[in-house]
Amino acid sequence: MPKLEFWYDFASTYSYLAAMRIEPLAEAAKVEIAYRPFLLGPIFKAQGLTTSPFVLNPTKGRYMARDIARTATARGLAFHVPEPFPAHSLMAARIGMVAEEEGWIGPFTGAVFAAEFAERADIATSDTLARLVAGLGRDPEQVMARAGSEGIKSALRSRTEVAADKGIFGAPTFIAEDGELFWGDDRLEAALAWANGTARPGAE
């Protein structure tokens, strides 16, 4: 089965939209999703930005909030802009690395995004993250300990460096096995079609 990499930061609003629909769309397209949590902060810093473009440009930020709200409503999703915005996603990303290694990254990703953007939960707190981990049948103490290990910290740093090397500049980003890159929730369908070969040049 062809694979499609799903690169996302847990603080990313548009990644929330993608995460809430990627599995059923991928199943229909017969594409396997490879979850790739990473941090946008270092990517933005390399671009000369000190925080999210939606914060640096308030007009753009207001549009984003309205655009996400419209789209979420159309898809039957709740949406609230976290406070503070963007959320501090470091620990969630580290736990995501653990979940990826242990094989429960998909459910964890959905749980974090739903808690953050639908339930107004603060994903920067250990209490919130422990609750989400426990809700997935995992041992929060064990998972949090692994997430704080040097191995996981190093893996996340390396993951973010790989993101930069691949040309990722925002989230969500989708990358097919041939390296073709698609940016944005609104490019998910196109990315899946490319991944399974139905949208490539010469495809029938």
Average pLDDT value for residue range 166-183? 97
State residue 200's pLDDT score. Answer: 66
The closest alpha carbon to 32, from 187, 203, 204, 177, belongs to: 177
**Angstrom distance (rounded) from CA 139 to CA 60:** 40
Per-residue confidence band for 8, with pLDDT thresholds at 50, 70 and 90: very high
pLDDT band at 61 (very low <50, low <70, confident <90, very high): confident
Strands (E), the chain: 3-8, 32-37, 173-176, 181-183
pLDDT, residue 202, reads 53
- Exposure string for 148-184, b = 16+ CB within 10 A, e = fewer: eeeebeebbeebbeebeeeebebbbbbbbeeeebbbb
Average pLDDT over residues 49-60: 77
Residue of 155, 188, 158 whose CA lies nearest to 171:
188
Q: What is the mean pLDDT of the chain?
A: 94
- Class of the 3-195 domain? alpha beta
Say what the pLDDT of residue 196 is. Answer: 96
- Domain residue extents for the chain: 3-195
More confident residue, 44 or 147: 147
Mean pLDDT of 139-148: 98
- The CA angle 194-197-201, to the nearest 5 degrees, is 80
Q: Give the mean pLDDT of 38-67.
A: 84
3-state class (DSSP) for residue 28: helix
pTM reported for the whole predicted model: 0.93
- Residue 180 identity (one-letter amino acid): E
Amino acid (1-letter code) at residue 194:
W
Task: Report which of 31, 6, 40 is spatially closest to residue 20, judged by C-alpha positions.
Answer: 6
Task: Give residue-wise pLDDT tens across range 176-203.
Answer: 999 999 999 999 999 999 999 987 665 5
Query: Which residues, other chains included, contact 121 with Cβ-Cβ below 8 Å and sequence gap of 6+?
Result: 115, 128
